[in-house]
Amino acid sequence: MDKIRIRGGRPLHGEIIIRGAKNAGLPLMAAGLLTDERVVLTNVPLLEDIRTMTALLRQHGLAVEKPNNEGEAGRVLSIGGPITNTEAPYDIVRKMRASILVLGPLVARVGEARVSLPGGCSIGTRPVDLHLKGLEQMGAVVSLDGGYITATAPAGLRGATILMPFPSVGATENLMMAACLANGQTVIANAAREPEISDLAACLVSMGARIAGIGTDRLTIEGVDRLHGTTHPIVADRIETGTYACAAAITGGSVHLRGGRLAHLGAVAQSLAEAGVEMTEQEDGITVRRLNGLHGADVMTEPYPGFPTDMQAQFMALMSVSDGAAMLTETIFENRFMHVPELNRMGARINVHGSSAIVRGVPQLSGAPVMATDLRASVSLVLAGLAARGETVVNRVYHLDRGYEAVEEKLAACGADIERLPG
């Protein structure tokens, strides 16, 4: 297994290109199941999860090709063709929970699906009950057997009014895609509002879907008989943007994040400003620099537009070297503090009490061998290594490769002393 070695203490200066969002690309690829015509996605990030979703769509019978577009370097995916297999097998789903996003499109398009239950991961049990209840409200017959979800709707799905008890991102995406081909009107109330959902909705509308309330917590979808092909650019990754903003801040450097969009950072930009980090938006991106010292700033993770759970670990690494204290409360997932013991091994002073962690800033962290556990915890350890005195080796970086493209190359190009040690 590959490792990443970092020798810390070097301020970052330069430019980092922000690519398409993993958490937009995955549902957008699943939307390719909603039509036989070509759905062409551009600004596709080169990530392990995108490769896994490619394999999943191909085993459903779809052609997923990378046209050799000059200059796009494999960042264009052309998806299309008839569905020949409605089963999403365990050996793929267990590698990537987002595989559940094929469920709604398959049932809506061909009236049946057999999808392995995703199972949990290190950050939580990750249930999918809201996905299943919504499909049942739309007339699907859902059963669980042998670790698989079987969902059928031989007469097609019908529109329904679905009140989500929690604004689940994945459930909103699954049900919105299913509703596009249902008979009649579907209302999703208390829908999630993440920018990736608005990006998916915009793509669906360009395919002929009829969706109102995009960007709000109430989506109204008028089902249509069929959808057609489209070409859609994947929205920039706000979590990648926030991650590299923290990298600039924790090293005391100044970095231009080309393609980053301040509007999508919302609460993260506010918390970074409170911590003493300046973010200036230009037409081609955002420039981030630390003004003076780093101050403690409390955050509580919440559904968008609140502080995103996917930025909690990265912000905690930043707060570990602030000149004050910070309280970080995780309200979305039940076990998303796996980075804490690893940061503490680097000299951080973090105490976890239930769903809150109190961070007392220290003048400097010290490098150490550390273990990556999940995607965002992994990158928080890289951030800590960039600021630490001495050498840090992050083990099990396959977690990182699922959601961050060429992280060591991007950071090295800004002056970091970082390299990948092939495992």
Site for ligand EPZ, rule CB under 6 A? 22-23, 26, 98, 124, 126-131, 166, 168-171, 192, 309-310, 332-333, 375-376, 403
Q: Is 121 a catalytic residue?
A: yes
- Say how far apart CA 339 and CA 386 lie, in whole Å: 15
Tokens standing for residue 301:
């993770």
121, 180, 203, 414: which one is catalytic?
121
- Name beta bridge partners: 5: 393, 419
Between CA 122 and CA 124, with CA 123 as vertex, the angle to 5 degrees is 100
> What's the alpha-carbon Rg for the chain, to the nearest Å?
21
DSSP H helices in 282-325: 312-319
- Say how far apart CA 311 and CA 298 lie, in whole Å: 13
Residue with tokens 């579907």: 186
Comparison of 5 and 133: residue with beta carbon closer to ligand EPZ: 133
Comparison of 11 and 304: residue with beta carbon closer to ligand EPZ: 304
Comparison of 121 and 187: residue with beta carbon closer to ligand EPZ: 121
Residue 8 C-beta: closest distance to ligand EPZ, Å = 24
Comparison of 46 and 325: residue with beta carbon closer to ligand EPZ: 46
Comparison of 313 and 348: residue with beta carbon closer to ligand EPZ: 313
- Say how far apart CA 347 and CA 330 lie, in whole Å: 22
Residue 304 C-beta: closest distance to ligand EPZ, Å = 7
Q: How far is CA 313 from CA 85, 238, 308, in A?
A: 39, 15, 10
- Residue 305 preceded by cis peptide, ω within 30: yes
Residue 332 C-beta: closest distance to ligand EPZ, Å = 5
Residue 269 C-beta: closest distance to ligand EPZ, Å = 17
Comparison of 75 and 193: residue with beta carbon closer to ligand EPZ: 193
Residue nearest to ligand EPZ (CB): 170
Residues 6+ apart with CB under 8 A from 96: 26, 49, 52, 53, 56, 402
Tokens standing for residue 74:
């494999």
Residue 223 DSSP symbol: -
Tokens standing for residue 303:
């559904």
- Say how far apart CA 323 and CA 359 lie, in whole Å: 11
- Say how far apart CA 171 and CA 404 lie, in whole Å: 24
Residue 276 C-beta: closest distance to ligand EPZ, Å = 26
Residue 128 C-beta: closest distance to ligand EPZ, Å = 5
φ, ψ of residue 270 in degrees (nearest 5): -65, -45
Catalytic residue positions, numbered = 121
